[in-house]
Chains A and B, each alone.
Chain A
Amino acid sequence: MLMQLVVNGIVVGSIIAMGAIGLTMVYGILNFANFSHADFMALGAYIAFLLNVTLGLNIILSFFISIVITGAIGVLLDFLVWKPMRKKKADLVSLIIISIGIALIIRNGLIFFWGGGSRHYDLPVLKGTEMFGVIVTYNQIIAFGTALVFMIIVHYLLKYTRTGKAMRALSDDIDLARISGINVDKVIQWMWFVGISLAGAAGVLYALETAIRPNMGWFLLLPMFAAVILGGIGNPYGAIVGGMIIGLSQEISTLFLPSEYKLGVSLAIMIVVLLYKPEGIFKGTKI
């Protein structure tokens, strides 16, 4: 039983981690908690649904096109909303409220077009396989494997590309980065693209694991914030570890708590971290 929960926890954890990477980058670089982040996961899942089911494309192709489109929408929003607000030097609390507005628009836009019910991709139903008494579904393997590959790609991006290094510089000190000749707006747009497309990808994977629902992001928002705070704001590696810890604790908690209260586990972990180590558990290991 425990092993089964550990397996489920690892899969969900890797999905939370993938979403949390983008959330923590925005938080670290632009300095605000983006409450719309989770709804981009749902958006990605629905765009893939549109491509896969409505237009009949192959799921893998749908997945990749969907994450590019989702990321592009993230960049578009930078042009429409975030960049003008940066120019105005808007105070950060108003950005948080704007992000809630965007979340409402996305979530209800999905309901408007696709209704409130759950949907599924056009996929052959595959049975799980049993390993050491634990049932692992193919979708879980695919979700975990894909998440792992994406995290490796992000690691490579941040460590070895110029844009990635610039992102790290921005998250350290945005003004210093500006005077040292980094094209701040462009780097921020890349950050949105990477962060939001990762969210979109995580959304598709989560939909594979469960189902496509307009409020699917909503139930991941709190776990993602918990992962970000646990891992230290602005630290993608922290967010990954945080995501795994949150995913595992949520699943394992079902041993002694009704599963409806999974969300409470995230909240509880978050509050403990805020009380005793508000800078997160990986201080000093920024990006």
Chain B
Amino acid sequence: MKHSLLEVKEVKKQFESILAVDDCSLIVKKQAITGLVGANGAGKTTLFNLITGYYKADSGKILFNDIRIDDMPTFKRARIGMVRTFQITKALSRMTVLDNMMLGPKGQSGEKIWNIWLKSGKISKEEDMAKEKALEILDFFNMLHMKDEYAGALSGGQKKLLEMARSLMIDPIMLLLDEPFAGVNPTLAKKMVIYIKELREKGMTFLIIEHDIPLITKVSDTLSFMSQGKIILEGTPEEVKKDPRVRDAYLGGGD
């Protein structure tokens, strides 16, 4: 069978008096699309922050591609291929949409200060390539016409799309999406589901937090249900949806 890409082992995180993540374990296999569901406050976003390095776990281990990453700073985790989006969108407001995108690519020569004068030819070549790629991705998300607008002027849904589009610029191995469909119109959301599956075929792995149960069912292979800081249930979307605990958590929400 496929190897695991991400392994979270008995991770714990306490804030003041609240135990946000409690002995949580999770395995994401290579090329899988895993949905992470659970009520508000179950600890999903905290878990994301632990995996991507925004918080440091009190105890436990996190492995990515068999490398321990729990002491690695965030930017290094991104460099080895793990990229996330944020629940509350973080568009870089006073930068254009295109500049937001161009920020993405890894290892840009022009991001080293001396190269600006020493390797200007190489930089402009890289910039052209990055721009071409950025325009392609923007086109897919129906945002090409907005490339020169300030990201701060976009609507909430558009900012969500921009964030996902921007993460794709890095060619991540694994993408962690925090509510990628919130505020996105249904037609586009469906298109995104297809796109995510296409990317998976090309080898990408996904971990997705989502409240829209029908959508997450459609996109993911397995669902992990989180409650009070723990993953308490894992299985196919159909299995998980049937469980009474899940139904309780989504009273009136899901189908």
Touch between chains A and B, by CB atoms below 8 Å: yes
Cα–Cα distance between A286 and B16 once the two chains are bound (Å): 10
Category for how many chain B residues contact A: under 10
Task: Please give, as numbers and ranges, the residues of chain A lying within 8 Å of B16 by CB-CB distance.
Answer: 172, 284, 286
Determine the residue in chain B with the shortest Cβ distance to A284: B16
Give B55 Cβ to nearest chain A Cβ, in Å: 14
Q: Dominant SS at the A interface?
A: loop
Determine the residue in chain A with the shortest Cβ distance to B16: A284
Determine the residue in chain B with the shortest Cβ distance to A286: B16
Give B156 Cβ to nearest chain A Cβ, in Å: 15
Mark interface residues in B163-197 (1 if CB within 8 Å of A CB, else 0): 00000000000000000000000000000000000
Cα–Cα distance between A172 and B16 once the two chains are bound (Å): 10
Cα–Cα distance between A47 and B91 once the two chains are bound (Å): 47
Give A227 Cβ to nearest chain B Cβ, in Å: 22
Task: Please give, as numbers and ranges, the residues of chain B lying within 8 Å of A286 by CB-CB distance.
Answer: 16
Within 1-50 of B, Cβ neighbours of A (below 8 Å) are at: 16
Mark interface residues in B111-130 (1 if CB within 8 Å of A CB, else 0): 00000000000000000000
Within 251-287 of A, Cβ neighbours of B (below 8 Å) are at: 284, 286
Determine the residue in chain B with the shortest Cβ distance to A172: B16
Cα–Cα distance between A91 and B16 once the two chains are bound (Å): 25
Determine the residue in chain B with the shortest Cβ distance to A283: B16
Cα–Cα distance between A18 and B16 once the two chains are bound (Å): 26
Cα–Cα distance between A27 and B72 once the two chains are bound (Å): 30
Task: Please give, as numbers and ranges, the residues of chain B lying within 8 Å of A172 by CB-CB distance.
Answer: 16
Task: Please give, as numbers and ranges, the residues of chain B lying within 8 Å of A284 by CB-CB distance.
Answer: 16
Cα–Cα distance between A172 and B18 once the two chains are bound (Å): 12
Determine the residue in chain A with the shortest Cβ distance to B17: A284
Give A278 Cβ to nearest chain B Cβ, in Å: 13
Cα–Cα distance between A172 and B17 once the two chains are bound (Å): 11
Give A139 Cβ to nearest chain B Cβ, in Å: 42
Cα–Cα distance between A286 and B17 once the two chains are bound (Å): 12
Give A75 Cβ to nearest chain B Cβ, in Å: 30
Cα–Cα distance between A284 and B16 once the two chains are bound (Å): 6
Cα–Cα distance between A284 and B18 once the two chains are bound (Å): 12
Give B89 Cβ to nearest chain A Cβ, in Å: 15
Mark interface residues in A153-182 (1 if CB within 8 Å of B CB, else 0): 000000000000000000010000000000
Give A111 Cβ to nearest chain B Cβ, in Å: 37
Cα–Cα distance between A39 and B206 once the two chains are bound (Å): 54
- Chain A interface (Cβ < 8 Å from any Cβ of B): 172, 284, 286
- Chain B interface (Cβ < 8 Å from any Cβ of A): 16
Closest 3 CB pairs of A and B: A284-B16, A286-B16, A172-B16
3 A-B residue pairs with Cβ-Cβ distance under 8 Å, sorted by A, are A172-B16, A284-B16, A286-B16
